[in-house]
Structure 1
Amino acid sequence: MKFTPLLIIIMFWGCKNDDESIVITPDNYHNSIDQIISVMIHDIFSPPVASRIFAYPNVAAYEIIASNNKDFKSISGQLSGLTAIPNYDKSKGPLNVQLASLVAYIDVSNELIFSEEPIVKYRDSLYTNWKSINKVEFNNAKEYGLKVADHIKKWLSKDNYKETRSMPKYTIKTNDPSKWQPTPPAYMDGIEPHWSKIRTFVIDSANQFAPPPPPKFSLEKGSLFYKELKEVYDVGNEIVKKGDTCVGIKTARFWDCNPYVSVTHGHMMYAVKKITPGAHWIGITKIACRKTNYNFDQTVYAYTKTALAIADGFISCWDEKYRSNLVRPETLINKYIDQNWKPLLQTPPFPEYSSGHSVVSGAAAVVLTDIFGDNFKFDDNTEMQFGLPIRSFNSFNEAANEAAMSRMYGGIHYRAAIEKGVQQGRNLGAYVVKKLKMK
């Protein structure tokens, strides 16, 4: 038989396809998380719900890594209700662990979002490319990744999320001035009043790290509560006078992260879509992983540990929010001090105490410090997609402190919610670091 040059080329590429391995890089994982976040912004997920979307897919990916890398330990049995994932059938040949991990991440993520089409297109483009490189390797990894994803989906289906969808809405207590009221301009109902009923991940219960109660409500000018209320008013007025170059204004806008911002022009109202506080800290995790040149397995580990602290942080914070059910500064200032006053940032639609940004930032900062070390300098470009400049920090704790104080500058939190909130988060983060054995 005579071999033509064309036939030789075809035979060469056919053999190459059988032998070449599919290379999965940390950027593949970063990019996949970015794809999910873009859909989450579009779908306007609340901060607590968004934290759930970060946690479960990362756990799916991590468990595959941990079962095949001696540097990491499985967290089955450590997280509430999580059992061991299925074993891979080694008779099928070697497993591309990173590929299976990424398949599981994408599949579980797609289960938790609303707008599936963009993720399906993204997934299918990856599948087509991987299949063209090595069909057998791809099919084995895909089959196992989806098997693990199904295991995680069964676990997440029992976390009480579906049950909370049909629970009663928040009841407004109009006769009690200390209780939260819907705020302008949209006057939305209280978001996720039953989030404390969601199954926790690492912490034992929603109220395990409950902060001390907020200052006793009082409109007497000498009371601690009134002083904190007046402080919000005075700080807000002061930074507005200084203008857009003011550090307080820049800080507040950088850490806004409110997915519910509504803009009103005449009779028209529309939403300005942004990331959630949890997504901002997931973005910081990406920055840290890239700066340290973390490999794929290390990257999955960092995301997973941080996401779990964030998710438990929201459960802990929301437990306190609807227990203390404290009125926002905007409501009281407009009624008792200045009816024309507006906060720099739009007030989010849920009770004031404690501050969600403060709790989540405190928790994430402790975990990231445990992973990457203290005094870890980084440039935070997370908000550049929203037209905001890069801010630089000397440590994760410094960033957390700034994120917490941004809520005072923004006019949406009293000092107690900020200071007690960040401590609540740090306590929770320290518990996650101590209890969760991942290495």
Structure 2
Amino acid sequence: MKKIILLFAVLFAASCSTSNKDYQKMAANPEFLIRAEVMLTESIIHDIFAPPVSSRIYMYASIAGYEAAIHGEKGYKSLVGQINGFEKVAQPEKGKEYCYPLASTRAFLSVGKKLTFAQELYEEFDKKLEEDYKATGIPDDVYERSIALGDSIAESVIKYSAKDNYKQTRGFRFTVTNEPGTWTPTPPAYMDAVEPFWTKIRPVGLDSSAQFQAPIPAKFDLTPGTPYYKEVMESYNTVKNLTNEQRDIANFWDCNPFKMNITGHAMFATKKMSPGGHWMGIVGQVSRQLKKTHVQVAEAFVLTSMSIFDGFISCWDEKYRSVRIRPETVINNSIDKKWIPILQTPPFPEYTSGHSTISSAAATVLTNIYGDNVAFNDSTEIPYGLPPRKFTSFKQAADEASISRLYGGIHFRPALDQGVIQGGKVAQQLLKKVKTH
């Protein structure tokens, strides 16, 4: 009888071990985290956050997701002590069983919810996510413990985010000087300048917002033959002579979170994902294509989002230093009153290009992680009625994102070229400072 009981105990233990292994493997499906990123993007679009603010949300959510994902994974390093001001994060209890991929997805979403407004958007998503996790066979106690760990890590990251000067920069407005060659609000809504004090936000990898200053742009001088005049005329003539392919490129990379449309006397807004959201979508697509693990996706999300975040800080530092006028304003005032850009001019100064900067930063990081010859189809714009575009590398995608701003009529070429350089330097600084494994 004792032998029978002993044999049953051994078989039961083996059965539990197999079950444990199966649910851990199923719950580690990176699709859970990719779905969470897509859901966060939907929330950000709904709440109409400006591009720099969106980058902040993605980054802190990704930090939380990464910090939870690395437990139980050999060779991965915490960001504590590596990025500016990040000194402490919650840890799992020793001797307890967790499902760390679940904790990771939970931490990502918990931070995302804290930093966005439309909580009701998550209700159906959360319900389906819980059902899918429970379908893996995860034991109730492990599920609850993992959820609690995710929330604790999220709380640590939220405390970290609270000291980045974001709250202190709310409510301040930019004063328009009307000096020749400087930025003024643009049609059709003539909105105030966006985030004029973003340089005060704490970066994660940069020493300061001014670490990688772009060269001083050409002096405002509309005398024919001057460097500035040539820049203006290039933007003017590019839009007047666009090919269908160039128009498609401009629209594909528009990424305007709040486009104002005018029909007769009516004005309404169209909401889309931000530039940072576009690149986070690329991370998810390519990670899925390359069949990366949960922790590898978490790593790609966090490094890409940090590069984009610092990219915006560096770019915005230059924007509000040079306060450069937009093509639409100078062309309408001095060249052609009827000229209209293909894209709606964003409400902030021209130099350097934000899209160029953050696309270069993201592409540099992704090339470092996944390689320089990864071909992919970018389908992020399908929800907005635009077909996918094919790229042979992250750099090719970033270069196209950059030149799209010239095709769209919202930038001069030097803002693009210098933005690409600036973004590359930001990313290299981050990769030099932060070692994930």
Q: TM-score range by the shorter chain?
A: over 0.9
| Pairing of 1:192-271 with structure 2 (within 5 A) | 192-239=195-242, 242=243, 246-271=244-269
Give the superposition deviation at 1:127. Answer: 3.4
When residues 226 and 123 of structure 1 are mapped into structure 2, their CA distance, relative to the original with a 3 A threshold, is: same
Secondary structure of residue in 1 paired with 2:381: helix
Match 1:355 to one of 329, 353, 356? 353
Contact kept, 8 Å, 1:67 with 1:74, in 2: the verdict is no
Contact kept, 8 Å, 1:358 with 1:425, in 2: the verdict is yes
Q: Please, which moves more after superposition, 59-68 or 280-289? A: 59-68
Give the superposition deviation at 1:19. Answer: 5.8
Match of 1:46 in 2: 50
Match of 1:3 in 2: none
Match 2:82 to one of 78, 91, 97? 78
| Pairing of 1:347-386 with structure 2 (within 5 A) | 347-386=345-384
Match of 2:108 in 1: 105
2:273 matches 1:275:
yes
2:149 matches 1:144:
yes
2:117 matches 1:119:
no
Cα deviations by residue, 1:186-214 (Å, 9 ceiling, x for unpaired) = 10000000111111011111111111111
Match of 1:10 in 2: none
| Pairing of 1:118-197 with structure 2 (within 5 A) | 118-127=121-130, 130=133, 133=137, 134-166=139-171, 168-174=172-178, 176-197=179-200
Give the superposition deviation at 1:65. Answer: 2.1
- Hey, what's the Cα distance between the residues in 2 that align with 1:114 and 1:341? 38
Contact kept, 8 Å, 1:361 with 1:425, in 2: the verdict is yes
Cα deviations by residue, 1:201-246 (Å, 9 ceiling, x for unpaired) = 111111111111111111111210111001100111011xx5xxx1
Give the superposition deviation at 1:147. Answer: 1.0
Identical pairs, percent: 43
- Hey, what's the Cα distance between the residues in 2 that align with 1:409 and 1:131? 49
Match of 2:4 in 1: none
Contact kept, 8 Å, 2:71 with 2:100, in 1: the verdict is no
- Hey, what's the Cα distance between the residues in 1 that align with 2:100 and 2:74? 13
When residues 43 and 171 of structure 1 are mapped into structure 2, their CA distance, relative to the original with a 3 A threshold, is: same
2:436 matches 1:438:
yes
Contact kept, 8 Å, 1:260 with 1:348, in 2: the verdict is no
Contact kept, 8 Å, 1:131 with 1:139, in 2: the verdict is no
Cα root mean square deviation, aligned: 1.7
Matching residue's letter, 2:157? I
Matching residue's letter, 1:164? T
What is the aligned residue count?
417
Contact kept, 8 Å, 2:69 with 2:294, in 1: the verdict is no
Contact kept, 8 Å, 1:209 with 1:424, in 2: the verdict is yes
| Pairing of 1:80-99 with structure 2 (within 5 A) | 80-91=84-95, 93-99=96-102
Secondary structure of residue in 2 paired with 1:173: coil
- Hey, what's the Cα distance between the residues in 1 that align with 2:256 and 2:330? 21
Give the superposition deviation at 1:347. Answer: 0.3
2:427 matches 1:429:
yes
Match of 1:288 in 2: 286
- Hey, what's the Cα distance between the residues in 2 that align with 1:285 and 1:313? 17
Give the superposition deviation at 1:41. Answer: 0.9
Give the superposition deviation at 1:71. Answer: 2.6
Match of 1:312 in 2: 310
Secondary structure of residue in 2 paired with 1:382: coil
Cα deviations by residue, 1:42-74 (Å, 9 ceiling, x for unpaired) = 111110000001100110111122343123111
Give the superposition deviation at 1:403. Answer: 0.6
- Hey, what's the Cα distance between the residues in 2 that align with 1:119 and 1:95? 24
Secondary structure of residue in 1 paired with 2:185: coil
Matching residue's letter, 2:159? K
Cα deviations by residue, 1:105-126 (Å, 9 ceiling, x for unpaired) = 1101100111111124422443
Match of 1:394 in 2: 392
Secondary structure of residue in 2 paired with 1:107: helix
Contact kept, 8 Å, 2:276 with 2:308, in 1: the verdict is yes
Matching residue's letter, 1:393? F
Contact kept, 8 Å, 1:213 with 1:324, in 2: the verdict is yes
- Hey, what's the Cα distance between the residues in 1 that align with 2:233 and 2:133? 60
Contact kept, 8 Å, 2:98 with 2:143, in 1: the verdict is no
2:67 matches 1:63:
yes
Q: Please, which moves more after superposition, 297-306 or 19-28? A: 19-28
Match of 2:343 in 1: 345
- Hey, what's the Cα distance between the residues in 1 that align with 2:238 and 2:391? 23
